[in-house]
Amino acid sequence: MPFRRSRLPTVLGLVLCLCLLIACTPVQAPPRPGPTPVSDVHALDRFYDQQLSWGDCAPYATGAQSQDAFHTPGVECARLTVPLDYARPHGETITVGVLRHKASDPADRIGSLVMNPGGPGGSGMEAAAHLAPTVASTAIGLRFDLVGFDPRGVGASEPRVRCLTDAERDAERANHPGDGISPESAAAWTAEARDFTAKCVQRTEDGADLLANVGTRDVVKDLDILRAALGDKKLSYLGYSYGTQIGYSYAEAFPANVRVMLLDGAIDPTEDETHSLVAQGEGFAHAFGLFATECAKHAGCAVGQDPAKAVATFDNLTRPLLATPARAGGGRTLSYDDAMTSVVEAMYSQQSWPILNTGLNLLRAGDGSALLQLADSYYERGADGRYSSLQDAYYAVRCIDNPREQGPAAVTATHQRMLAAAPFLGGGRPDEGEPDICASWPVPSTSQPHRPFLPGVPPPLVISTVDDPATPYQAGVTLAGEMGGGLLTYEGAQHTAFLHGNQCVDVNGLAYLVDGTLPPPGTRCQV
């Protein structure tokens, strides 16, 4: 169960994921990830000068979810060509999938608004297609071409990161016993991680070459080429969750090319990976407490009428799954790990809490189907049994973006701290894959936590939600301060807030995107 950093507003039916809280000591910033110096200063001209050929989006669909999204009226798609390796601009090329919905008021058009929903590994094409009808009558739909792109290695972009087959992903979810932390379990996880990374290299076209160049460092270079291909002198950008990392990284690399940047559900650039994962555990544990408190107010609460006993009640309800998975229909069963994942999925929004309570009550009767549906949503498994590229791309980007854990002892210590931070996970393995898999990743990481260097960048608008389980509130405060931007506080219990339907948040966000006007300092929006 990876603690992802993504998820778009629930009203769009998209949910993605996570982030940080405890501050670490900032380290000196690495070189800005701008265009790679080459002897031929015009080596990238052919990419910047390309014209996009827009057409039907159907050929870009990679599964049932994207097929549905790409039937949205008015959307069109294209492929952007970029270098596989920016250090070798004359070498092999790859393509990035792009989708747009054109402004409905061309006479008053501002330009393109490029968005990313998070992840890493979330499909910006699907997100933009889902978002288009929601914003049709707003300033976004009227005055911007809404553009989403699938970052390199993701979704419709080619080649795509591929690690596990759909059947292997199902088996992995069903077979994890959730056996806690021990030397024996750590050794087993290490062996699984090595097998996973070997499959990623074998099954991904261009293998280690793509995996070495799939991180945020290269995504922001693709984004600048996309800006030019769209005909925009400066970039207007909307980033959710991990998309905020793309945003501030782009601002570091291309400070003169930023028009406006709305960053919702922020990632703290000074935070290291271990602190991030522990903070996420704390955030989800806090959200579980809020769920238990609200649930206790109603008859039929699956975790009881005493919130202080909710963790123990939940543990007694789910622990039998360690020995005997619950039937879930269609020949499938609910594993212990999937039950834990279903809770994490539900914590992204209060709107999912009643669904979780229903699922837990059904589990008490031996029916795991509702919880399995929540877990499937988290993993982006379609009804046809096909998974999106999110899972594989998530690890590929996270492992290339972050320094590695040093040795089995460090990995085990991280697991123990994560379990201590999230007691409701009990005997499970919270995000065990990330420290293990990244420790055995076949290519070196390319970045590290640092204070961003942002000379001359227009102040962004950062939106941070008080009880966001995935990207804790303080991360937004830190990012706004580091970037010299405005901070809009939303007093809610969900992940991200812009375009969820809160008028205060949306009015302030739209005003900023249109003319760069930041809300007054200290602005807070209520539920």
Residue 241 appears among annotated catalytic residues: yes
Q: Within 10 Å of residue 291's Cβ, how many Cβ atoms? A: 25
Q: Are 409 and 83 in contact (CB under 8 A)?
A: no
Residues linked to residue 115 through DSSP beta bridges, in sequence order: 148, 238
Q: CA dihedral defined by 315, 317, 320, 326, rounded to 10 degrees?
A: -130
The catalytic position among 130, 275, 415, 495 is: 495
Residue 185 appears among annotated catalytic residues: no
Calpha distance 526→489 (Å, rounded): 9
Calpha distance 144→232 (Å, rounded): 11
Calpha distance 142→293 (Å, rounded): 42
Give the closest residue to 245 by CA, choosing from 167, 151, 358. 151
Calpha distance 440→408 (Å, rounded): 11
Buried residues in 198-220 as b, exposed as e (16+ CB within 10 A): ebbbeebebeebbbbbbbbbbbb
The catalytic position among 272, 337, 392, 468 is: 468
Q: What is the DSSP letter of 92?
A: -
Q: Within 10 Å of residue 168's Cβ, how many Cβ atoms? A: 14
Residues linked to residue 149 through DSSP beta bridges, in sequence order: 98
Give the closest residue to 192 by CA, choosing from 160, 169, 159, 167. 169
Calpha distance 448→25 (Å, rounded): 12
Q: Does residue 99 sit in helix, strand or coil? A: strand
Residue 176 appears among annotated catalytic residues: no
Calpha distance 19→3 (Å, rounded): 8
The catalytic position among 6, 66, 123, 241 is: 241
Q: Which residues are catalytic?
A: 241, 468, 495
